[in-house]
Amino acid sequence: MWLLIAAPAAIGAWLVGWPTWSGFAARRKRDLNTERYLAWRGRAGERPPDPTLTSQERTRLVFAAVLALAAVFALVGFFTYA
């Protein structure tokens, strides 16, 4: 029973968290590449602030963290009571 809880929770955490985090990382990398290009061309202005997580991304990452905690708790329960 514990594994029936742990597996879907872990898969759900990965399905929710990975696209959100990789999208944020890609946006940060893209902004840095744009900044480097403009500096190379001599047209760089003031450095823009680092991108931050949007409220929707933050909510999705919190939900993924809760699912991951549930998966860990279920896995500990499996090894403790099995």
pLDDT tens per residue across span 3-62: 999 999 999 999 999 999 999 999 889 888 888 888 888 887 777 777 889 999 999 999
The owner of tokens 């003031």 is 46
78, 10 Cβ separation under 8 angstroms? no
**Nearest Cα residue to 63 out of 24, 1, 4, 15:** 15
pTM > 0.85: yes or no: no
* pLDDT on residue 82: 66
* pLDDT on residue 35: 84
* pLDDT on residue 38: 86
In the structure encoding, which two tokens stand for residue 62, read together? 């919190």
Within 13 Å of residue 66, how many CA atoms lie on the same side as its CB?
6
* pLDDT on residue 33: 86
* pLDDT on residue 34: 84
